[in-house]
Amino acid sequence: MQAEPSQYSDNDLLHAVARKDEAALAAIYDRYRLILFGLILRILHDRAEAEDVLQEVFLQVWRRAADFDEARGRAFTWLVTIARSRALDRLRSAGSRARLAEGAAQTPRDDVSDAALDALKSETSAIVREALAQLPDEQRRTLFLAYFEGLTQVEIAARLGDPLGTVKTRMRSGVIKLRELLGQTRDLI
């Protein structure tokens, strides 16, 4: 992969990584480091730990890229799923819990380069955030508890003190809305 990386699709890059193309791995890193690191940081609330996990994630991408099958979902989904589950695994390990308790109050400082943030804002994130902002507060909160804290439906119902049926309905309609959003804006996202 000698050419300008941006002209390759996510799928092309992952297939190249599966062939052990280091430049393709670097290109994926450059393309998704902000969003993946943001995701991991949101789950762990600790920069050092999040950087550790980000490294693990890309080493896993390097080893397992051959497992990626575009017939079974988008490349973005594949990457984000690895990052989220690695981060949640770390969150569940005992050491992180203690650290999480210490730094729970402290909001992570995100040093994002303006250019990168602008690029992101102009595209996907803005569309998704806009859609999420239009959801009822409780629905959004339910989705975030599941996604960023890795809670099950039963745990969320207990946390919020809401009936399980209500929690299920909120999650279901939230995910279905996101799918519709994806269908409407597939070219953009």
Partner 1 sequence: MEHQEYQELLALHALDALDASEARVLEEHLGTCADCRAEMIELRDGAALLAHAATPAEPSAEVRNRILSSVSAQREEAQSPSAPSARVVPLQPRATRNIWTIGLRLAAAIAFVALLTGVIVLWRRDVRMRQEIAQLSRQVNTQQHELVRDRSVLDRQRDALALLNSPTAKKMELAGSQTAQSARGTFVYDPKTGRAILMAEGLPATPAEKAYELWFIPKGHSPMAGRIFTVDASGHAMLPEQMPPEAMDGAVVAITLEPKKGSAVPTGAIYLSSPSS
**Residues near partner 1, by CB under 8 A:** 20, 22, 25-26, 29-30, 33-39, 41-42, 50-51, 54-55, 58-59, 62, 72-74, 76-77, 80-81, 83-84, 108, 110-113, 116-117, 120, 124-125, 128-129, 132, 143-144, 146-148, 150-154, 156, 168, 171-172, 175-183, 189
Among residues 96 and 157, whose Cβ is nearest to partner 1? 157
We find the least distance from the C-beta atom of residue 98 to partner 1, in angstroms, to be 23
We find the least distance from the C-beta atom of residue 132 to partner 1, in angstroms, to be 6
Among residues 8 and 37, whose Cβ is nearest to partner 1? 37
Among residues 102 and 112, whose Cβ is nearest to partner 1? 112
Among residues 160 and 178, whose Cβ is nearest to partner 1? 178
Q: Which tokens sit at 76?
A: 């973005």
What's the 3-state SS for the chain?
Answer: CCCCHHHCCHHHHHHHHHCCCHHHHHHHHHHHHHHHHHHHHHHHCCHHHHHHHHHHHHHHHHHHHHHCCHHHCCHHHHHHHHHHHHHHHHHHCHHHHHHHHHCCCCCCCCCCCHHHHHHHHHCHHHHHHHHHHCCCHHHHHHHHHHHHHCCCHHHHHHHHCCCHHHHHHHHHHHHHHHHHHHHHCCCCC
Among residues 66 and 116, whose Cβ is nearest to partner 1? 116
We find the least distance from the C-beta atom of residue 173 to partner 1, in angstroms, to be 8
Q: Which tokens sit at 121?
A: 């804002």
We find the least distance from the C-beta atom of residue 120 to partner 1, in angstroms, to be 5
We find the least distance from the C-beta atom of residue 101 to partner 1, in angstroms, to be 21
